[in-house]
Structure 1
Amino acid sequence: ELSWPADLYLEGSDQHRGWFQSSLLTSVGIRSKAPYRQVLTHGFLVDGNGRKMSKSLGNVVNPLKVIEKSGADILRLWVCSADYSSDIAVSAEILARISEAYRRIRNTIRFMLGSLSDFDPIDDKVEYDDMEPIDKWALMKLHELIKKVGGAYDNYRLHLVFHSIYNFCAVDLSSFYLDVLKDTLYTFASDSKERRSAQTAIYEITASLIKIISPVLVFTAEEAWAYLPRRGESVSSVHLESMPEANDSYVNFETKDDWEKILLIRSEVSKATEEARAAKIIGSSLEARIGLFVTEELVNLVEAFKEMLPALFIVSQVEIFSNGVSAEGAWESQTMPGLSIEVTRARGKKCARCWNFRLDVGADEEHTQICGRCLEVISA
């Protein structure tokens, strides 16, 4: 039997004076109580130009044809992306943009699953306190996402679910975290602490992300779940799993503030390297040596991140100058006062294995084309 009152009444805005009101008046008159716990109304479906859909205009989008062409998950993602508080637009162009967003989410998950091919989540896991700082940052962003998306699901704000997941995949993961990790994943020893730390974070991110998308991308989530490494007592279907819960202990506000500043510096370094590339000073970013000229306000921050900066900037070398004097011709930041950046060609030779430029490339007589770090890995 159906429960009463209903958990939710869901209809278009025309029902404010229709079903919503008539059922409310009837229920209050008979039972002295509303027939629903919540009411959710949505706008009407219109085409890309905001016109009402009609056969005479030829602008009707048949959902079955969308499913046949692109799959049900694309249609579901479009519904999730729309802010239903106003009229909802749909067109071939809009669906094409949704398909592109879907590919970004899918490819992000695919890359992470590929990075876990030799990872056992039980035997190879690195405890949180022993993880690398960048992996702790990634887990902090994950649990911020879990908290935000959980609240959005609870309040039926599905467009916030879509935008939060997309931004996490496109900005936090693809454009930064996973890009930075490629050196660790591809060139470090397979069982090194740094690589296992990265895989531990990637595993938790992947497992949580699959669960988060499962109410919307139901088929994609189930497909991805099947490729996730051994999960101990986990069930066979993601749709029988509980949603992940946010762990507030992963969110360190002091560390978060430092990371936000470092990411701003990274953005400025990217602008400077692009100008250097356009000027034919460098080709790829790994050909660059970065000189950071910082004032007293920034010196403690960049010194704390000193060992990580080449990896974070995806360059071969970084040198910090804090004497308050910039190099002649250095790139001046317009958004971060006290920051100047000099981009020159990196010193040393290019390692054939990791592609970084290092002074010790060729130091070993037997392996003349690789650096000392890579030599340790292949000799282990």
Structure 2
Amino acid sequence: ILARVVDTYRRIRNTLKFLLANVSDFDPAVDAVPLEQMLEIDRYALSRAAQLQSDILEHYEVYEFHPVVAKLQIYCSEDLGSFYLDILKDRLYTTAPKSLARRSAQTALWQITQAMLRWMAPFLSFTAEEAWAVLGQAGKTPSATRESIFMDTYVALAQVDAALLAKWSRIRELRDTVNKEIEVLRADGKLGSSLQAKVALTVGPDDHALLASLGEDLKFVFITSVIDLRAGDALAIQVSPSTGVKCERCWHYRDDVGVDAVHPTLCGRCTSNLFGAGETRTVA
């Protein structure tokens, strides 16, 4: 029992540490991106957070703490750790520091952090207060409530977008299916990370339209270097090792590594993000 409690606490605390670390250079008063300008996956993440907050507040209204603990742990593990944050790392670490793509991600992370601190405060009071103090020292908490998180109220998140939640729920299902096929090759020692995988994904008309709407960002959602989307009658997945060269910065396997002779170990995307106009991201 104690081991499970420790594991739950560690999961929530480690997620919080990741969130705080990745908004450390973010000033919400200056850097926040309006909801309508945010990338689609970031808007999905905020909608999912709003959905969870609605559930959590219903439990708190009747003093049900245990379901909140369970739901928050699952949220940190599955919604954030295994999906959203996993996808977000490439954008946070490889795009230009002040680019729209990165600031959009940080805007979502900031709102999730603020909401999550309030969700956990009733049962992880000391941890919530510790994080609140860290934000306070950086001048990122309201002066009126800087003394304690318990002086503040819950965050007003954007309304739940049911259509967006349904769309991304299906995308997550397809991604999980592809990941299972990638894991088969990893278990056989034919692949290292999923970024080394080249995926040919055949799906039915509805799923094809869904995935095609992600455009060039599809590979970032599936965390592969290459994904070839095809229309067909039934789901079919073919996974093979990429023949591209690994970029030492973003770790993607690409054919344009060394395209700039001045930076022979970088891909064209990283060269642009570091020294040029930077890549354009619209979805993820």
TM-score (norm 1): 0.69
| Aligned AA (1:164) | K
Sequence identity, in percent?
Answer: 40
Which structure is richer in relative contact order (CA contacts within 8 A, separation 6 or more)?
2
Displacement after TM superposition at 1:246 (Å): 5.0
Displacement after TM superposition at 1:346 (Å): 1.8
Instruction: Assess, with a 3 A threshold, how the Cα gap between structure 1 residues 132 and 230 changes in structure 2: closer, same or farther.
Output: farther
Please name the residue that 1:354 is paired with: 250
Displacement after TM superposition at 1:136 (Å): 0.6
In structure 1, stretches of 5+ residues that fail to align are 1-93, 325-337
Question: Within 5 Å, which residues of 2 pair with 1:75-86?
Answer: none
Separation in 2 of the partners of 1:364 and 1:291? 29
Confirm or deny that 1:308 pairs with 2:204: no
Please name the residue that 1:254 is paired with: 163
2:48–2:165 CA contact under 8 A, matched in 1: no
Confirm or deny that 1:164 pairs with 2:60: no
Question: Within 5 Å, which residues of 2 pair with 1:118-133?
Answer: 118-133=25-40
Instruction: Assess, with a 3 A threshold, how the Cα gap between structure 1 residues 261 and 314 changes in structure 2: closer, same or farther.
Output: same
Q: Could you say what secondary structure the match of 2:130 adopts?
A: helix
Larger Rg: 1
Displacement after TM superposition at 1:317 (Å): 0.8
Separation in 1 of the partners of 2:115 and 2:226? 35
Question: Within 5 Å, which residues of 2 pair with 1:198-237?
Answer: 198-228=105-135, 229-231=138-140, 233-234=142-143, 235-236=145-146, 237=148
2:46–2:158 CA contact under 8 A, matched in 1: no
Please name the residue that 2:154 is paired with: 243
2:200–2:239 CA contact under 8 A, matched in 1: yes
In structure 2, stretches of 5+ residues that fail to align are 277-284
Displacement after TM superposition at 1:167 (Å): 1.2
1:289–1:317 CA contact under 8 A, matched in 2: yes
Give the counterpart of 1:189 among 87, 96, 99.
Answer: 96
2:244–2:254 CA contact under 8 A, matched in 1: yes
Displacement after TM superposition at 1:307 (Å): 2.4
Please name the residue that 1:74 is paired with: none
Displacement after TM superposition at 1:360 (Å): 0.9
Please name the residue that 1:342 is paired with: 238
1:288–1:346 CA contact under 8 A, matched in 2: yes
1:211–1:243 CA contact under 8 A, matched in 2: yes
What is the CA deviation profile of residues 272-311 of structure 1, one whole-angstrom value per residue up to 9, with x for unaligned ones? 0001212333221110111101122322111112322211
Question: Within 5 Å, which residues of 2 pair with 1:99-178?
Answer: 99-178=6-85
Instruction: Assess, with a 3 A threshold, how the Cα gap between structure 1 residues 159 and 241 changes in structure 2: closer, same or farther.
Output: same
Name the structure with the higher helix share: 2
